[in-house]
Amino acid sequence: MNRHSPRYDRRLLRIERLEARLPLSSTVPLGAPFASAEGTVEAETAFYGTPRPTAATETFYVGTYHDANKRGGDDSLLCWAASAANLLAYTNWGFSVGGFASTPESPLFYSALSILDYFAANFANEGGVTRAALSWFITGAYNSSYAQLEGSGGGLYPSLSGFDRSGQTFWPLIDAPAETMISRMADYLGRGYGVSAGIGFYENSIPRSENRFGGHSLTVWGYTYDTALDPADPNYYTALILTDSDDGRTGTTTCPIEWSPTHNLYRLSGYGAGTGWLEYFVCLKPTSPLTGIRIRGYNGKYDGQGHTVTIEGIDRDGPDSYQVFYTCDGLLTDRPIPYKYPGSHVINVVVVRNDYEAVWSAPVQITIKPADPAPLRTPSITDIVSSGRNRQTVSWNEAAGNAGYEIAWSTDGGESWSTRTTPDLSYRAQNLPYGETVLYRVRALGDGLSSSTSPWSDVREVKINPVDIDGDGFVGPGDFALLSALWFKSDGSEDWDPRCDIDGDGFVGPGDFTYISANWFKDSESADISYPV
């Protein structure tokens, strides 16, 4: 329970980043059945201005409640999320479409408990503030602290309001004496609002900041009062009718309250084994679905143009007034952001009619795919020469716009291929088998955006025979002439030709001449060709 939590700054709300943020969508009208995890209860019918006392005239109760209880896992500090979930479910703000292709008739959330699970999946289990949680859920925006949330949500959602005894900013600020806090609650309850209350726990039950060791959020569904007193008297209100996410049960609790003139606060004297002091409350206006609105996103290839949402179904010529708000990739804006470059983006769209009389919302996706890349010209192999013992150098012509080349060779007739990539226009294959035929092919690599990889070139095949230096198919004067020109030259010489290093020792000399002599006047395809070993 939060009252046993360590000291914390209740104004800091830590929110984890989301892969996708699901906004509200009012999909179930007021008065329709509401399916909860505990069974089916009737959703409250909208009413404004007229209290609804029960048969006992000293009690006001809205008649319907939601009680999202924590699961008992790693959620000990999520009472504020449970209270926010109750308000969202009760006022019909808490329904979200199930995905980008869904209709408002297919909501994702069916109960306050499912909304609490959504909070628990996306928020850190730390002390938070119900009002910031409501703003985050409604707008689809996220920030790292309560102060940022407060600044982002204040002007856009006047349906969210509250009161804080310390005079901190709310949506909007209701600056009133602490003794009027419950009378303000009563006013909002009478107008059909959902109401959440925040209480604080203090050492020795003395409400001083240095004594505070925890807090808790509750949901208020009614109150009792003393008809013998004047409603302006702080003692007029005698109890609050609550649901509590920590009590492990479904149902309301009537908790006595007392006004303390010493501390200028209301005390919930009957709350649990301790004493909780009423510190703030938040209220959320009920709304009904706005029908007939449709939005379209974009799913296409990059064309150099900006793409955003298209909204249909708003009657600008009629008597109703409309406001449209956007949350683009988590950023609240008053107009949609046009996206131009390849990528995927989520825009949450909220359409409001007549100052939140009715609301419609859904997420829409903008997906811009890279344009089809231009195909590259296929390079062709221009030369294959021996580069010494069991090595060959393969060369090819250039393909403009490439991101490199891929060379492949096979020594088993094309059953399997070895490949390497290189930025150059040649590659030296090594460890080739003497006397075998090697197949070669090459292709230009594309970058995937402006160019695509070319097809493979035609296959060239060459038999590995380092004795045939000039590659004319015959061991004779031509090979001897090349060998003589590099006689006693070594690797690194300015005019070095690796083809003449038949035995692969890095030096052109008697060893290489031995192989020429042993195969003199033989065809390179001859069965009795002898190879260096």
Strand pairing of 33-36 and 39-42?
Answer: antiparallel
Task: Encode the chain (533 residues) as per-residue pLDDT tens digits.
Answer: 444 333 333 323 333 322 222 233 222 222 222 333 332 222 333 333 334 445 455 777 777 788 999 887 667 788 988 999 999 888 877 655 433 434 445 555 667 888 888 788 777 777 777 877 787 777 665 433 333 334 334 444 556 777 776 555 554 445 567 888 898 888 888 888 899 998 988 888 888 888 888 888 999 998 988 888 888 899 999 999 999 998 888 888 889 999 999 998 999 977 754 678 998 888 888 877 677 777 888 999 888 899 999 888 888 888 999 988 888 887 778 788 999 988 999 887 888 888 777 777 677 889 998 888 888 999 999 988 777 667 888 999 998 888 899 999 999 999 999 999 999 999 999 888 876 789 999 999 988 777 889 999 999 988 777 788 887 878 899 999 999 999 999 988 988 888 888 877 889 999 889 888 988 988 876 767 766 54
Give the separation between CA 211 and CA 191, rounded to whole angstroms: 36
Q: How far is CA 219 from CA 79, 177, 392, in A?
A: 10, 21, 81
Distance in angstroms (rounded) separating the CA atoms of residues 191 and 404: 70
Q: CB atoms < 10 A from the CB of 143, how many?
A: 20
| CA R_g for the chain | 39
Query: Which tokens hold the place of 490?
Result: 């070594």
* Fold match flag (291-369 vs 466-533): no
Q: Which CATH number fits domain 466-533: 3.30.365.10, 3.40.50.720, 1.10.1330.10, 2.102.10.10?
A: 1.10.1330.10
Angle at 68 between CA 66 and CA 72, to 5 degrees: 160
> What would the pLDDT profile of 196-243 be if each residue is shown by its tens digit?
998 988 888 888 888 888 888 999 998 988 888 888 899 999 999 999
Q: Are 457 and 443 in contact (CB under 8 A)?
A: yes
Which pTM does this prediction carry?
Answer: 0.57
Give me the amino acid identity at 205: S
Q: Are 513 and 506 in contact (CB under 8 A)?
A: no
DSSP run (H or E) holding 182: helix 181-190
C-beta separation of 332 from 325 below 8 A: yes
Domain spans of the chain? 10-288, 291-369, 373-464, 466-533
Name every residue whose Cβ is closer than 8 Å to that of residue 175 and which is 6 or more positions away in sequence: 167
CATH architecture of 373-464: Sandwich (2.60)
CATH number of 291-369: 2.60.40
* DSSP state, residue 499: G
Classify each residue of 272-282 as buried b or exposed e, where b means 16 or more C-beta atoms within 10 Å of its C-beta: beebbbbbbbb
Which among 313, 303, 312, 324 is positioned nearest to 367, based on CA atoms?
303
In sequence order, what are the beta bridge partners of 461?
439
On whether the CB atoms of residues 337 and 314 are closer than 8 A, the answer is no
**141 is written with which tokens?**
């925006």
Distance CA 216, CA 276 (A): 8
Q: Looking at the domain that runs over 10-288, which CATH code has it been given?
A: 3.90.70.10
Tell me the per-residue pLDDT of 73-113, one tens digit each, with 9 for 90 and over: 667 788 988 999 999 888 877 655 433 434 445 555 667 88
Which residue's structure tokens are 């009478």? 190
Q: Are 200 and 276 in contact (CB under 8 A)?
A: yes
Contact 126, 58 (CB under 8 A): no
**3-state secondary structure string, 401-465?**
CCCCEEEEEECCCCCCCEEEEECCCEEEECCCCCCCEEEEEEEECCCCCCEECCCCCCCEEEECC
**CA quadruple 157, 162, 168, 174: dihedral, nearest 10:** 100
Which residues are registered as beta bridge partners of 338? none
Burial class (CB in 10 A: 0-12, 13-18, 19+), 11: middle
